[in-house]
Every structure is written in structure tokens, then in C-alpha cells.
Amino acid sequence: MSAADRTPMGTPMGTPLRKVAVAVLIGFLLLLVNVNYVQVVQAKSLKNDPHNGRVLVQQFARPRGPIVVGGTSVARSVKTADALKYLRVYPDGERYAAVTGFYSFIYGATGLERAENSLLSGTDDRLALRRLSALLTGREPQGGAVVLTLDPKAQKAAVEGLGGRRGAVVALDPGTGAILAMASSPSYDPNPLSTHNGPSIRAAYQKLLADPDAPLLNRAISSTYPPGSLFKVVTAAAALSSGRYTPQTRVPAPTTLDLPQTTKSLGNFGGESCGDGRTDTIAHALQISCNTAFAGLGLSLGARTMAAQAAAFGLGKGYSVPLPVAPSVYPKNADPPSTAQAAIGQFDVRITPLQAAMIVAAVANHGTLMAPYLIQAVKAPDLSTLVVAKPHKLGTPVTPQVADQLTAMMQLVVERGTGRAAQIPGIAVAGKTGTAQHATGEPPHAWFGGFAPADSPKVAVAVLVEDGGGAGSDATGGRIAAPIARSVMEAVLDG
Amino acid sequence: MLVFAVVVVAAAYVNVGYARTGTIPPDTASYAAALGVLFLIAHLAVRFLAPYADPVLLPLVALLNGLGLVLIHRLDLAEADRARQAGRAVPRSDAPLQLVWTAIGVALFIATLLVVRDHRRLQRFTYTAMAAGIVLLLIPAVLPGRFSEVNGARIWIRVGGLSFQPGEAAKILLIIFFAGYFVAKRDLLSLMSRRVVGLDVPRGRDLGPVVVAWLASVAVLVVERDLGTSLLFFGIFVAMLYVATRKVSWVAIGALLFAGGAYLAYHLFGHVRDRVDVWLHPFRYASTTGYQLLQGLFGLANGGVFGTGLGQGRPDIVPFAKSDFITATIGEELGLAGLMAVLVIFLLISARGLRAGLGVRDDFGRLLATGLAFGFALQVFVVVGGVTRMIPLTGLTLPFLSYGGSSLVANWVLIALLLRISSAARQPALSLPVSGAGTAPLPPQRQAQPR
């Protein structure tokens, strides 16, 4: 250590001490930066974290906005005397549970209660100005109202049509994509889950969890099912769009079709033959739901064309309506036997009832697929409108010409084919049935997808009844699902 | 300033009461008076016993101590509410006990100023301090778990209903030892034989003490399962060694040893691994080991920029909100603004302590001040950094704010020592004209002339 290193006072520690001081300063600066990061930058995501119970406690302490259907609240908050201050009630709980979800301080929120939480609870940025004025005037901040696209009559018809059988109904306005009905069955009552009594909430929830019919599951958007023959609409669309076929083109329609590369063969429902036993027109094959004709069509169109048509109808993508919709699936790189199976909606094709409704809605809307949505408008607590839904296009899976050809073919299905149970007197209805095998020994799922009136569609609907609703192995989409679709369409058209 | 501190604390107390019951608590005046008298006595003691001491330190400390009392009182109320709602017996309030500890702290503060009339006399007790410090530190390790273990960390001495964390007292004793030891051995420790990649490297045998310190801190970590104390001691040791020897290589060696130790600890000990995992992925352990950290973060987020206001948040949701997690309570109810203010107060106290070290003329005093002030700052860094998820969480108290008698009393003694050193540093008879001193925390070094 040289003398020059020493300070005049003879203490050599001044410099390192200053460096220690700088280190301390840096340490504190890091802390200051970090608390800024946590309390400002991260604050929002931390507040919305599902593990964060304290925000829920706060949200209970102020009135939550209503969820409105057809001018009446299907979910609203009422004042209580207990510590949580407001109780969420669902006047028509079971009917709308698939949409509203529940609002529990133990299990959090589901459905729209969760998807639109920030707006309903009043923390949404769109309500910031009103929050500020509430703060300044000392009023209690309130949540905004969410007005739904649902048609109460259609919803009622959907729920009553399902009648507690496992299944789902989705009805759309084909021109806009507005969801007119969304029902999942069996449903549940959200009220017991939304009380303020911990033990009774737990008991109610455990009971629902233990139910083998899974009432908490929203079958309309969260489950995917093999579509069965309903998917022939997509195969027909691919065929007509290819330019190689018209509805009157005769295609091979044997009683059984040998699947290439395998020893298996594929037959028609009940072992029947189609057309003249060897060939059939595409239109007639759809009308009588001929498996071998469509499986053969799928084979000759090829895996790639089929996958592209499926994707154009919206399969493979998730949606937010704003409830999260599970993506429907068309198998990737299917080999020829699988393509043949997929063309009749078997093998690994799986779609949600909402996706089924979107397919028929696109046909109804002259080939244009609209994005589905549940929220018509968002209103501030003073009922001034903040946002109105703007329908938007997702794509054009088929041309208007092909859409019109498909519509005509689907009308024949309802007039004289498998979908006769969907007929409405005086109104032309278009539709397609589906009877989907999904497990050996299990009865097939019953499907119906259709729309009405066929010439200027106001409603498109898809109905799924799991396992044919217990009607046994001869349950078909035409017998089980079509009547439900008819009553939902009637409900919309009457109103 | 002291009056200001008491007024702020009284206002905070009124705020809590008003927010919770809508009325001004009737005992405000008496509480404020009690605190005021307590701090006034401390102030008078400083005036008489250390007349040239830094005038800023005591008001800052008084403000923190008072704020801590209010926060603990506020959490008492919340706990009582919860107990009543759940139909349980209302637990004992901690704030009155903390007030008693404050009084004891102030008493020991005055006693320290009385007994230690000149900090240089402490140098004589270098090895006594070492022995006492090590004994205190290791007692919990040798005691059976039921006397020493609380929530997994064996850092307590529990007798009857009383519990005491000897680490807090050991901290001060060991800083005294380090200061004395380094002053005596400084030249030896400064000897560097080789240069390796631009750093002077000490001879192998001179590495002895740093290795011993490292081993001791590892022992604390292993036996007492206390990450915080281990890190704190080692950090203080390295900083003081650096200041004593001016050799950056000691810092590098210390950092290397620490990194190696941390790596080994992570792989060898489950509790260390738990802490690190929770730090990296708190959401994965949201309902188990990460619950406390996450609840603290939720509290901080809930507070936002301006906080919920005293008495209006839910800091009681966070486990150990009164002690290790009082940072989260401050952040929630006083907001980012309040938490930053508190951090700045801690920074000022540390800076004032280091400044006393810069100003004092003897090496022992300088080292002692460094150790005390740096240790104080490091402790704040480790606790606040842990709660805000900047570094893995370790169990340490936040000086003067957290509930806990041993911490409070030890920190009062620590401040007394810093005041004693600052008084010596600022004594005009020995020093040069003190112009404008005390305005900036770290003014440029004055050009002093040899006496």
C-alpha cells in the first residue's frame, strides 16, 4: 500500500467506504424500482390472478352490474346484511346457467361472470371516468350492465327441448352471428353456489362435481363431439366448391364401401343401399344421408381439400364469444381410410355444438361466416350505452352459388329426407341430421343442424343430444334432435 | 423533527381508528403523549450524552418505530375482527407489547449512550464480543427444537411464554468483533501475493478468516435453517473486510464463496430449494409454499400507487403481516407512495450511518459505523427484496417496523452506537469547521489537514 493511497487523515478507508455507500444506494434504488414494478406494472395482472381472493372480497362489497336478457336481469346483485354486502341472484338460474355461470367467493366466477368480470364489477377501463366521478361525489362505485343477444323464447324452447337429457343447443342469427340461444343440459342452479355460506356452497359444488352427468360442463362450447352425418354438409360444400360436381352429379354409392389400405369396409345406416344401389346423385345422397357416397366423395376430394374446407368453416380455431369456445378438430394429414371416415363425420372429427351452428349459419348466410357473439351491448351503471356489438365476418367458406345449392339440398333433407321432424308448417326449413357413432356399445349421438326460413334465414340452430338421449340404439338425429331444432326455430320466428 | 414524527404517527393512529369505526379513537392523546414523552427522553439523552450526534437519525427512527406500532395495532384490530366473526376468542393484542418493547428499546438506547461514552472503548472487547456473539448465535442451534424452532427456523430462544431472537443481538456483537479484528489484522489481510486476472489475490493462509466466516454462515444456514441471517452476516463481513483492506479481491472472493455456497445449498437443502422455487414460480405453489409470498404481492398490487388507506385494506390476509411481511402491509395501505417514503427513510438512516463512518477519525469507529449502517441497509434490502419478489424470500424482520422485541431493542442499540460515532465525528473541537454538514447524505470528502 503506497503512501499516496492514503487520505490526508491517515485513514485509508474513505474510498472503499464511499463505494459501500454507493452499493447501498444502488441497492435501495433497485428496491424502489422493484416496488414500482410490482405495484404499478404487475398490479393489474396480480389483481386479476385467480389465486387472488382479496379482490373477490372487495368486489362483493359493491353492487355488481346485471346480466340482461330481453329486458330482464338473469343475474343481479341484491343488498344483504352480512359482511359481503351484496348477494348475486339468478332469477331463472338453470335456464341461463350455461351463459351466466356462477359467482362464488369460494370457487371464483365462471361463465360470463368471469369473462366480463371487470365490467360487471366496475373495474373495467371503460368505466374509469364514471369511477372517478363516483369517487369525487362519494357515491358507491357500481358495475356496468351486460346486455345479451339471447332470445328468451328461443332459450326457453332450447332448454325445454333438451328436457334434462345430456346435450346442447346453440341458435345463431346467421346474418350477424348473434347467439340467440345457448343451452347445455343438464343444467344447474347457480344460486346455491353464489350464496355467502361457505359450507353450503361447498356442499352444493361437491354435489355438482360428483354428478356423472357433469352439469357444470358447458356442452355447447366446451365439449367436442363427432358430428356424424351432419358433417356431410362440409363434404358436400367441398365437392361443390371443387367445380367437379353439381348436386345432380352421380357418384358411386355402393351398399358397402371397401376402405383402401385396410380390410375394413364402411356401410350405410341399417345396411340400406342408396339410389339405385350403385350410384346416386349428391343431392339425394344428402337427403337420405348415404354414408358410402360421401365417404367416396371424401376419398376422391382428398385429405387436403377436406381439411381446407373444414378450416374455412372455422374448425381448428378457438373463439371468444366472450366465453371461451373450445377449438373444433379436423384430423391433420389423415390417410385415405381416415379421410373416408372423416368425410361422414367419424374418425377424429370433433366439433362443438356452437361450431355446428356456425357451419349451418354460414350456409344460411349465403356462404359468409359471421363471428358468433353473446354480448349485444355494454351499459354503464347509469344505463348509458358504452359499447354496441358490431358483427364481423370471419370468412367465406363457400361461394353464394354453392351456399344456395347446399340450401336447396338441405331443404330436401327436411322436406322428404331424414330431417322431416324439423318441418314447420308454412315455412321452408333447411337442415341436416347426424347420428354419430362414438364408442362401441354406446348409443350414437343425435345431431341436427338447420335454419329457417330457407329463402331468407333468420335463425340457424344446432342441436346435440348425447347418446341419443337414451332412446336406444335406433335413436337418430332425425328423431331425437330435429324436433328440438324445430321448436327453437319456431320460437325465434314467432317472436 | 421529532415533534413532526410524533404528529405523523398520531395522525396515522387516528386514521386507522377513523377508517374502522368512523370515530377518532379516544385514547389517541394518551398514546401520542406516551410516545412523545418516550422519544423526548431519548432526544434529551442524546442532547446530553452525545451532543454533537447527527440530529436527523433519532426523528427518522422515531417515525419508523411509531409507524410500526400503528401498523401492528391496525393488524391487531383486523385479527380481532376475524376472530369475532369466526366465533373464536379474540387473540391478545400485540401493539401494547410492542409499545413496552419500544420503551425497553429506548431505555437500552439511553443505557448504551451512557455506558459507551467513547466508541473506541468497545475495541477492547473485541474478543469478548466475538465469544458472546457466537454463543448467542449458536444457542438456538444446540437447543432442542422445542425451545428454538418457530415455523421451521431454529433462531429462537423460547423460555416459558417469552421468546427472543438472539441473532439480532449477535449481529451487533459480531460487528464490534469484526471492526476490532480487522483494525488489528488489517495489514496482514491486505497482503496480496499474486495478481490473477487483474485482481490481487491473498496468500492461501491469509484466506483463513474469510473461510471461517463463510463456514460460520453456512453453519447458521444448515443448523438453524435461516437463510436471511446467514446472508446478512456474510454480507456484513465482506463489506467490512473490503473497507478495512481496500482490496476488491476480497469482495470477489466473498462473492465467489457466496455463489458456491448458494449453489450447494440449493442442491443439498430442501428448504433452500423451496425458497428459490417459490421465488421463480410463485403461482405454481399458490396454495402451498408460495401462499405467503403471493398474498403479499396481491396486497402490494391491491395498494397500487396511493394505497387503500390505513384500516381500509386487507393486510391481515397475508401470514406474518406483523413481522416479516409488514412491508406488504405498508404497500397495501399506504401504497407505492408510502412504501417508497419508508424505503427512503431507511436509505437516509443507512446513509447517515455511513456518513458518521466517513467523518470519524479512528479506523475502529469507521469500520464499526460501516458494519452497523451497512448491516442495517442489507437487512432492509433482503427483507423488502424478498417480499417484493426481487430476491428469494428469507425470514428477517424489517428494522423498527416489524413486530418483535429482540429486533426492536437491538436496532435501538444499533442506532445508539451510530449516534455515538456520529457525535465523535462531528465534535467541533477535534474537527474542522462544519459548514453545511448534514445537508447531503454523502458530501464530497472534505480536504482535511493533518493535525
Q: Kindly identify which residue of chain A lies nearest to residue B341, measuring between CA atoms.
A: A32
Residue B445 lies in a domain: no
The predicted structure's pLDDT at residue A133? 64
**Element spanning A379, H or E:** strand A375-379
CA distance A134 to A140: 6
Instruction: Give the mean model confidence (pLDDT) for residues A450-468.
Output: 90
Which residues sit opposite A146 in a β-bridge?
A67, A378
B363 touches chain A (CB under 8 A): yes
**Domain residue limits at B336:** 2-425
Question: What distance in Å separates the CA atoms of residue A397 and residue A380, rounded to the nearest whole number?
Answer: 37
CA angle B169, B171, B174 (to 5 degrees): 110
- Alpha carbon of B240: minimum distance to chain A alpha carbons (Å): 9
Phi/psi at B66 (5° precision): -65, -45
Q: What is the pLDDT of residue B324?
A: 81
Q: In this structure, what C-alpha cell is assigned to residue A389?
A: 356489438
- Would you call B314 and A57 a contact, using CB atoms and an 8 Å cutoff? yes
Nearest CA in chain A to B353: A21
pLDDT tens for A100-140 read: 998 887 787 888 988 888 888 877 777 766 666 665 555 56
User: Which residues sit opposite B194 in a β-bridge?
Assistant: B201
DSSP-derived secondary structure letter, B318:
S
**To probe the interface with A, which of B178, B241, B246 has the most A CB atoms within 10 Å?**
B246
CB atoms within 10 A of CB B51: 10
Q: Residue B95, CB half-sphere, CA atoms under 13 Å: how many?
A: 18
Which of A11, A13, A60 is most worth mutating to test chain B (most B CB atoms within 10 A of its CB)? A13
What is the rounded CA–CA span in Å between residue A405 and residue A238? 12
Max intra-chain CA distance, chain A: 115
How many angstroms separate the CA of residue A31 from the nearest CA in chain B? Answer: 6
Give how far A117 is from chain B: nearest CA, Å. 17
Mean pLDDT, chain A, rounded, equals 85
Decide if B437 is inside a domain. no
What CA–CA distance (Å, rounded) separates A250 from A232? 16
CB distance B256 to B244 below 8 Å: no
Terminal C-alpha separation, chain B: 35
A38 touches chain B (CB under 8 A): yes
Q: Which three cell numbers stand for residue B419?
A: 449516534
Please give the pLDDT value at position B75: 86
Residue that the C-alpha cell 381448428 belongs to: A316
Chain segment A374-409, per-residue pLDDT in tens: 999 888 877 778 888 899 999 999 999 999 999 999
Query: Residue B389: its pLDDT value, please?
Result: 87
- Which residue type occupies A427? I
B351 touches chain A (CB under 8 A): yes
pLDDT at B429: 55
Q: Is residue B436 part of a domain?
A: no
Q: Is residue B170 part of a domain?
A: yes
Please tell me which residue in A229, A289, A338, A487 is annotated as part of the active site: A229
Chain A residues within an 8 Å CB radius of B358: 14, 17-18, 21
B399 vs A: CB within 8 A: no
pLDDT tens digits for range A360-373: 999 999 999 999 99
**A229 among known catalytic residues:** yes
Contacts of B370 in chain A (CB under 8 A): 13, 17, 20
Of the CA atoms within 13 Å of residue B170, those in its CB half-sphere come to 24
pLDDT of B247? 78
- Give the other-Cβ count within 10 Å of A278's Cβ: 12
CB nearest B190 (choices: A1, A11, A30): A1
What order do you get walking across the sheet with A67-69 strand by strand?
A86-89, A72-79, A67-69, A145-148, A375-379, A385-388
What separation, in Å, do the N-terminal and C-terminal C-alpha atoms of chain A show?
98
pLDDT band at residue A2 using 50, 70 and 90 as cut-offs: very low
R_g of chain B computed on alpha carbons: 22
B301 to chain A, any CB pair closer than 8 A? The answer is: yes
Q: Does B356 lie at the interface with A, CB-CB under 8 angstroms?
A: no
A contact residues 13-32, partner B, Cβ 8 Å cutoff: 13-21, 23-25, 27-28, 30-32
pLDDT of residue B353: 92
Residues of A in contact with B241 (CB under 8 A): none
Q: Give the closest-approach CA distance of A337 to chain B in angstroms.
A: 44
Q: What is the mean pLDDT of each run of 10 residues along chain B (451 residues)?
A: 78 75 73 85 87 87 89 85 73 83 90 86 82 78 67 64 75 87 77 60 63 70 71 86 82 84 81 82 77 84 80 77 84 89 93 89 89 93 89 84 88 92 77 44 44 42
In a domain, residue B435? The reply is: no
B442 located within any domain: no
B370 part of contact set with chain A, CB < 8 Å: yes
On the CB side of B194, CA atoms within 13 Å amount to 5
B390–A contact, CB cutoff 8 A: yes
137-196 of B, contacting A, C-beta below 8 A: 190
B430 is a domain residue: no
**pLDDT, tens digit, for every residue of A337-350?**
888 888 888 888 99
Distance CA B194, CA B177 (A): 28
Give CA–CA dist A493/A458, Å, rounded: 7
Tell if the CB–CB gap between B299 and A54 is shorter than 8 Å. yes
Please list, in sequence order, all residues whose beta carbon lies within 8 angstroms of the beta carbon of residue B37, skipping any fewer than 6 positions away: none
How buried is residue A1: exposed, middle or buried, by Cβ count under 10 Å (0-12/13-18/19+)? middle
State whether B448 and A8 contact (CB < 8 Å): yes
The reply to whether the predicted model has a pTM over 0.80 is: no
Chain A residues with CB under 8 Å of B232 CB are none
DSSP state letter for B446? P
Q: What's the pLDDT at A141?
A: 63
- Is a pLDDT exceeding 70 seen at residue A265? yes
Q: How far is CA B51 from the centre of its chain?
A: 25
- The predicted structure's pLDDT at residue A1: 38
Contact B14, B31 (CB under 8 A): no
**pLDDT at position A7, please?**
41
**Record: contact B336-A14, CB cut-off 8 A:** no
Residue in B with minimal Cα distance to A1? B190
Q: Which three cell numbers stand for residue A318?
A: 378457438
Inform me whether the C-beta atom of residue B314 falls under 8 Å from chain A C-beta atoms. yes
Chain A residues with beta carbon closer than 8 angstroms to that of B339: 35, 39
> Does residue A419 have a pLDDT over 60?
yes
- pLDDT of the residue at B146: 64
Which residues of B are less than 8 Å from A1 in CB distance? 190, 246
In a domain, B244, yes or no: yes
What is the per-residue burial (b if ≥16 Cβ within 10 Å, else e) of A231-266? bbbbbbbbbbbeeebebeebbbbbeebebeeeeeeb
Structural domain count, chain B: 1
Q: Is A11 on the interface with B (CB under 8 A)?
A: yes
In the 8-state DSSP scheme, what is residue A192? G
Say which residues have a Cβ less than 8 Å from residue B439's Cβ, sequence separation at least 6: none
